[in-house]
């Protein structure tokens, strides 16, 4: 059994990782992940950050002071490459830009989502969430309880990345590797001159990232299928040292990518078996309640139940794409049934 090396934020310190790369742990208040590892890469124009951390005064102080402890000044930062739009990665990018004039870069697919977030009002967001939960089969009480207060949208990027683009980092070769799944525009960043891969949330050493589908009943995307393909792509890069956004730095990203892929393939097999045993086709919400999580379903908070439903939906959609399950026609909310082989 794998032993976790995850340590609390209080035990984390800024580190010089060699080859002009540094890491700064930035806290995520109230989140069990504890912190985001923000990386700085040396550049003659000033350091370029990989991610920026959560938008909170304590997080800002940790980023500013952590860089200072390494001999770097946040006002000298020349750019921020955000691996994906989630708030523990993109939250402070705007404040870094205000302090330094740095550019912000994000993959074009996530940049489109950030623009959409800026166009949404809070009431629109809550209404969208509640309706999505009801269409997945959640009751009115669950739908209302799981509707989250919307966080502020991250800063709009100045630059948009595509797969294979080189980041503006003079003297180094930092290449964007599009790895959709966790978000549509997630990127890993390959520091080709040092055989290192900044993996964001795509490949983590001990846990697996959330792979959900939103709205839950979409039938035009396959985020889990995208994620599995992205894992295979990372595997082909070879045994690079991985610099993830959470937990700890680890060797041989290819081996870990293969391990995560196996985890999801096993989960798909088990879910298909559960559906084959059901007399009545379940809703997405009922499917989530049947699946195995790190805690029993009745012990999950409303927010975590909503995330579990998103992940159940992504697994159902992947099985649908493979022809293993299908949607029951003419019913609301949507239900899935096992198909004959």
What is the pLDDT at residue 42? 96
* Encoded tokens for 319: 């099985």
Spatial distance between the Cα atoms of 177 and 166, rounded to a whole number of angstroms: 10
| Cα 168 from Cα 21, distance rounded (Å) | 16
| Interval 50-93: pLDDT, tens | 999 999 999 999 999 999 999 999 999 999 999 999 999 999 99
Global pTM exceeds 0.85: yes
Instruction: Sort 271 into a burial class: Cβ within 10 Å, 0-12 / 13-18 / 19+.
Output: buried
**Alpha carbon distance 340, 338 (integer Å):** 7
**DSSP code, position 165:** P
Helix (H) or strand (E) holding 107: strand 103-107
pLDDT, mean of residues 275-280: 94
> How many whole angstroms separate alpha carbon 270 and alpha carbon 307?
19
238-271 per-position pLDDT tens digit: 999 999 999 999 999 999 999 999 999 999 999 9
Q: Which two tokens stand for residue 231?
A: 């894992």
Does the CA dihedral 267-249-40-234 come out positive or negative?
negative
Helices (H), the chain: 57-69, 87-90, 93-100, 108-119, 122-135, 140-146, 223-235, 253-277, 284-290, 302-321
- The packing angle between helices 122-135 and 302-321, to 10°, is 60
The burial class, CB within 10 Å (0-12 / 13-18 / 19+), for 66 is buried
Confidence band (pLDDT; 50, 70, 90) for 1? very low
Lowest mean pLDDT among 120-134, 208-222, 227-241: 120-134
Domains detected in the chain: 9-276 (3.60.15.10)
Note the pLDDT tens digit of each residue in 90-113.
999 999 999 999 999 999 999 999
pLDDT tens figures, 292-317: 998 999 999 988 999 999 999 999 99
pLDDT tens for residues 149-162?
667 889 999 999 99
Alpha-carbon torsion angle 120, 122, 127, 133, nearest 10: 90
- Burial class for 122, CB neighbours closer than 10 Å (0-12, 13-18, 19+): exposed
């Amino acid at each position: 059994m794998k032993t976790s090396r995850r340590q609390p934020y209080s035990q984390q310190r800024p580190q010089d990782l060699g080859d002009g790369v540094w890491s700064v742990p930035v806290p995520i208040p109230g989140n069990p992940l504890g912190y985001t590892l923000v990386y700085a890469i040396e550049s003659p124009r000033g350091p370029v950050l990989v991610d920026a951390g959560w938008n909170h005064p304590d997080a800002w102080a940790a980023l500013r002071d952590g860089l200072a402890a390494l001999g770097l000044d946040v006002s000298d930062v020349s750019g921020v490459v955000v691996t994906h739009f989630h708030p523990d990665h993109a939250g402070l990018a705007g404040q870094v830009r205000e302090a330094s004039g740095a550019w912000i870069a994000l993959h074009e697919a996530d940049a489109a989502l950030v623009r959409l977030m800026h166009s949404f009002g809070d009431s629109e967001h809550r209404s969208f969430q509640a309706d999505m939960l009801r269409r997945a089969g959640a009751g009115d009480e669950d739908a209302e309880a799981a509707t989250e207060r919307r966080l502020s949208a991250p800063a709009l990027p100045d630059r948009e990345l595509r797969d294979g683009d080189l980041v503006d980092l003079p003297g180094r070769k930092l290449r964007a590797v599009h790895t959709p799944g966790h978000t549509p525009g997630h990127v890993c960043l390959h520091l080709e001159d040092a055989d290192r891969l900044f993996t964001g949330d795509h490949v983590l050493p001990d846990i697996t990232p959330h792979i959900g589908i939103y709205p839950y009943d979409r039938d035009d995307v396959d985020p889990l299928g995208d994620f599995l393909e992205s894992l295979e792509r990372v595997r082909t890069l070879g045994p690079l040292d991985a610099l993830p956004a959470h937990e700890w730095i680890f060797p041989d990203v290819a081996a870990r990518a293969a391990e995560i892929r196996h985890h999801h393939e096993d989960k798909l097999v088990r879910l298909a078996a559960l559906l084959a045993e059901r007399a009545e086709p379940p809703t997405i919400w009922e499917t989530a309640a049947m699946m195995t999580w790190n805690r029993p379903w009745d012990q999950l908070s409303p927010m975590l139940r909503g995330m579990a439903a998103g992940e159940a939906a992504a697994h159902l959609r992947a099985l649908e794409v493979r022809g293993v399950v299908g949607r029951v026609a003419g019913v609301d909310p949507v239900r899935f049934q096992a198909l004959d082989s």
